[in-house]
Amino acid sequence: MPDKLMNNLLTLARNKPELDALTDSLQGLIVKLHHVEDYKLTATDTLLLKQIGLTAEELKKVTPAQLNQLDEIYEGSEKIMIETAIELDPVSLGKLKVGVSKLTNFKNLSLEIKVNREIIGGAIITYAGKTLDYSLRTSLIETLKTYSFKNKESKI
């Protein structure tokens, strides 16, 4: 399987059920490309190909067995949980994955993304029992504590 496809699928899929749904859709499209003469891509097919970054001809070279290998790759990857305040688009997810990979020094990542509007902005990253809180909510709380503490000192 092309590395480009593998990386894009693992980035697009925020969790195991989404990865399964993507691979099922791709397997269906691969079967159509192989067995339906002069198959005309639907709008959904075109969108799917755009999301994974391959042409129909490139996807045609991928076998269903190769797609099934994604489960093994997913299970063998480092699980990273990321909470964001907003839904992220695929480009932002890709950039986030690169940044988290550099931050954690993990090469094979599996991201699980959760939207948590309560964090206001930024992100909370959890991996290997560690939590890195880069949320705006926490920054605001810390600033408020610092400001409140300084005001209490000045009254004494």
What's the mean pLDDT in 26-31?
A: 89
What is the Cα–Cα distance from 99 to 102, expressed in whole angstroms?
5
What's the pLDDT score for residue 82? 92
What's the mean pLDDT in 4-22?
A: 76
What's the pLDDT score for residue 156? 42
Closest of 17, 45, 50 to residue 31, by C-alpha: 45
Higher local confidence (pLDDT), 137 or 1: 137
pTM listed for this prediction:
0.52
Higher local confidence (pLDDT), 111 or 133: 133
Tracing tokens 């075109």 back to the chain, one arrives at 46
Contact indicator for 135, 119 with CB cutoff of 8 Å = yes
Q: Could you report the per-residue pLDDT of 71-116, keeping only the tens digit for each?
A: 766 666 778 889 999 998 888 888 888 888 888 877 777 788 899 9
What's the pLDDT score for residue 116? 94
Per-residue pLDDT at 65 exceeds 80: no
**Contacts of 36 by beta carbon, 8 Å cutoff, 6+ apart:** none
11 dihedral zone (left: phi>0; alpha: psi -120 to 50; beta): alpha
Half-sphere exposure (Cβ direction) of 100: Cα atoms closer than 13 Å: 29
